[in-house]
A = this chain, B = another copy of it.
Amino acid sequence: MSVTTMKTCRVSVSDLERFCLGALRAAGTSENHAWATTEALVKADSWGVFTHGTKLLAGYLRRLRAGGIRTDVEPEIVSDGPAWAVVDGRSALGQVTGAFAMRSAIAKAKAVGVSYVGVRNSNHFGAAGYYAWLAAREGLIGVAMCNDVPSVAAPGSRTAVTGTNPIAYALPAGDRDPILLDIAISTVAGGKVYVAHQRGQPIPPDWLIGSDGKPTTDAKLYPEHAALAPMSGHKGYGLALLIESLSGLLSGAAMTHQIGNWMRGDASEPTRHGAAFLAFHVDAIAPSGEFAERVRALSDEIRATPTADGVQRVLLPGEREWANHQRAMLEGIELPPDVVVSLEGAALSAGVPTPWENEL
């Protein structure tokens, strides 16, 4: 087994899935948990969202081995009503709990039209957009969000107050790909700051807040001595608190500094992340076929918008990701070097071959 750096690897979706499944099985997960996690991670890679794809696997394997993520449990609904539920993830893989919770939300929305499912005792769950898409795939509007360890400042603060608290939604669009947005409430993700630091590039003044509470352009200060800036100041901060409210406050999950750091924290301890899922049963609320027709008209209108020089077309949220997905299904996924390195580490730790092992 060779350790490869700074090289990309092209793998087929099915080979990448097989690798993830093997590594997760080797870590003791059930077949169901291995599949749920694999599908979420590989879907993110196929969208080109490599920060939230199989790159996460190595960290999950570490927590599985140390006991912070449990293999011998199933998430369960601990309380519910006609239009809502609270799910206890019991420290299972975040993808297992996330998919279970969104499926619960879908079932309730199909029964009564709209639903909310709050989650406690979850883990890092990867790309929020994956869960939103689970709903859109069945013709519902899906919304997914979660809380996380504080890394984002509030207006006027010297330190981080909220997590990057991502929110995603997916909108079914008839025979077209769902409209799909997945964003963090910080101006940029921490990963972009790391990349700028590694490359010695300057960063814009609205990315980081230094430990004096003022904007800083010194990327190396993050995360020890700087926090991410909330998008549009009080707007991003305020949205972070709405997401915290639905993911943490209402569900009874850990909040802000009580959440475990899934990457740098004690891997034997649960992180107790919260999450929230909303589903809207389009077919119940809008006349049959009318919704898809209206989505199509809105999409066509947006695509026909005149653009700046050099811009071919105004894109719908998710359009780039679905183009990546189509290419991935046909030609495989070109994994960037950081993912390749991470998967080689995962393969080593799990004692399974990388997807490209046989080719070397």
- Which residues of A are interface residues toward B (Cβ below 8 A)? 79, 81-84, 86, 109, 111-116, 118, 141, 143, 154-159, 161, 169, 171, 179, 181, 183, 187, 212-214, 231-232, 234-239, 241-242, 244-246, 249-250, 252, 255-257, 280, 282, 284-287, 290-291, 294-295, 298, 301-302, 305-309, 311, 313-317
Contact A280 B183 (CB under 8 A): no
* Given known A-B contacts A252-B286, A317-B237, A308 and B114 have beta carbons under 8 A apart: no
User: What is the count of identical protomers in the complex?
Assistant: 2
Contact B156 A86 (CB under 8 A): no
Contact B242 A231 (CB under 8 A): no
- Distance between A154 CB and nearest chain B CB, rounded to angstroms: 5
Contact B82 A317 (CB under 8 A): no
Residue of B nearest to A298 (CB): B255
Given A154-B305, A213-B308, 14 other A-B contacts at CB below 8 A? A79-B285, A81-B285, A82-B112, A83-B109, A83-B112, A84-B113, A154-B302, A154-B314, A157-B311, A181-B234, A181-B239, A213-B307, A249-B295, A250-B286
Residue of B nearest to A111 (CB): B82
* Given known A-B contacts A181-B238, A317-B241, A308 and B214 have beta carbons under 8 A apart: yes
Question: Given the complex of chains A and B, what is the CA–CA distance between A246 and B279 in angstroms?
Answer: 12
Q: For A169, what are the chain B residues with a Cβ–Cβ distance below 8 Å? A: 242, 245
Contact B158 A306 (CB under 8 A): yes
Q: List 5 A-B contacts (CB under 8 A).
A: A84-B113, A84-B114, A156-B315, A157-B306, A249-B298
* 7 shortest interchain CB distances as A-B pairs: A213-B308, A181-B238, A156-B311, A231-B232, A84-B113, A81-B113, A83-B83
Which of B83, B290, B301, B302 is in CB contact (< 8 Å) with A114? B83
Which of B81, B154, B183, B245 is in CB contact (< 8 Å) with A171? B245
Question: Given the complex of chains A and B, what is the CA–CA distance between A113 and B105 in angstroms?
Answer: 13
- Distance between A189 CB and nearest chain B CB, rounded to angstroms: 11
Q: For A81, what are the chain B residues with a Cβ–Cβ distance below 8 Å? A: 112-113, 284-285
Residue of B nearest to A282 (CB): B250
